[in-house]
Amino acid sequence: MTTQDSTLPSSRPETAIRVGLMGYGRAGREVAGQLLSDPVVQLQWIVKRSAGESTHPGSNVPVLGGDQLDIARLIGEKPVDFVVDFSLPDACLGYAKTLAKKGIGIISAVSAYQARHLNVLKQAGQTTVVMHSPNITLGINFIMIAGKILRKLAPHAGVEIVEEHFKDKTEVSGTAIRLAQALGLEPAKKINSIRVGGIVGRHEVIFGFPFQTIRLIHDSISRAAFGQGALFALKQLQGKSPGFYTMEQLVSEAFSVALKEAI
């Protein structure tokens, strides 16, 4: 912990946020890079699935792994304020209680949770700050909230979703399903899935009026956007009471504040 600097603007925490990262796959690597790029965040360690120990390229952040890893001991040796999870669903079963007991925050962007995983995280939310969302990009959550508002403003407008992804993504986009649910649309009827080539990810919500059309479009350029979302969440969760939050809630709150300033 560094000493307090009273000259910093109030929206910046006076001290660094110490973070541990679970998951070191394609998303995890990009997220690590983003966490390292932010002056307020101090990435302390990364946990990967396979055994072995190395450091993240261009840094001295240790990348640890293997079945023998003891999360309690790791936290004792290299304390963190938050754990950010981009690994697999079962990981939370191993760390949730330990982190909850110590009041360490949890940000999970794992997308394939079942009820038992969510229950464990909600339980942890009783004693620490927990946030989970399958898509934590600012863009998707912004479109979700703006879209929900437009639905209320114009309930008679027709709405459909188009999602485009690389050809090997066989299932319907989980983000599109979440968007559909948020907008009160039946996913099976209102989601149109395009699968061609190497499209990273594009989500479009089309609102059709008799004489005008509104389109809200999100284009993903790289998975590093998830790291930006994690940074946004880390900052928004500062000072929050224990509880179970979603990215949509965090963005909604910031949205409300911004709306008051904007009008």
Residue positions annotated with a catalytic role:
165, 169
Q: How far apart are CA 61 and CA 44, in angstroms?
A: 6
Residue 158's region, left for phi above 0, alpha for psi from -120 to 50, else beta, is beta
Rule CB under 8 A: say whether 131 interacts with its own copies: no
Name the residue nearer to its own copies (CB basis): 117 or 165.
165
Q: How far is the CB of 144 from its own copies (least distance, A)?
A: 9
List binders of its own copies among 234-253 (CB under 8 A).
248-249, 251-253
Give the strand order in the sheet containing 191-195: 191-195, 158-165, 202-208
Distance CA(109)–CA(88), nearest Å, equals 10
Running DSSP on this structure, what letter comes out for residue 2?
A: P
Work out which of 87, 173, 175, 220 binds its own copies, going by CB under 8 A. Answer: 220
Residue of 29, 117, 178, 218 that binds its own copies (CB under 8 A): 218
209 is a site residue for its own copies (CB under 8 A): yes
Would you say 32 and 46 are in contact if contact means Cβ atoms under 8 Å apart? yes
- Residue owning tokens 């904007």: 262
Closest approach of Cβ 83 to its own copies, in Å?
22
Structure tokens at 144: 């979700």
Phi, psi of 162 (to 5 degrees): -120, 130
Is 194 a binding residue for its own copies by CB under 8 A? The answer is yes
From 127, 136, 138, select the one nearest 244 (Cα to Cα).
127
Q: Per CB under 8 A, does 8 bind its own copies?
A: no
- Least CB distance from residue 257 to its own copies, whole Å? 8
Among 29, 117, 132, 223, binds its own copies (CB under 8 A): 223
Task: Give residues in contact with its own copies (CB under 8 A).
Answer: 137-139, 142-143, 145-146, 148-154, 157-160, 162, 164, 166-167, 192-200, 206-225, 227-228, 248-249, 251-259, 261-263
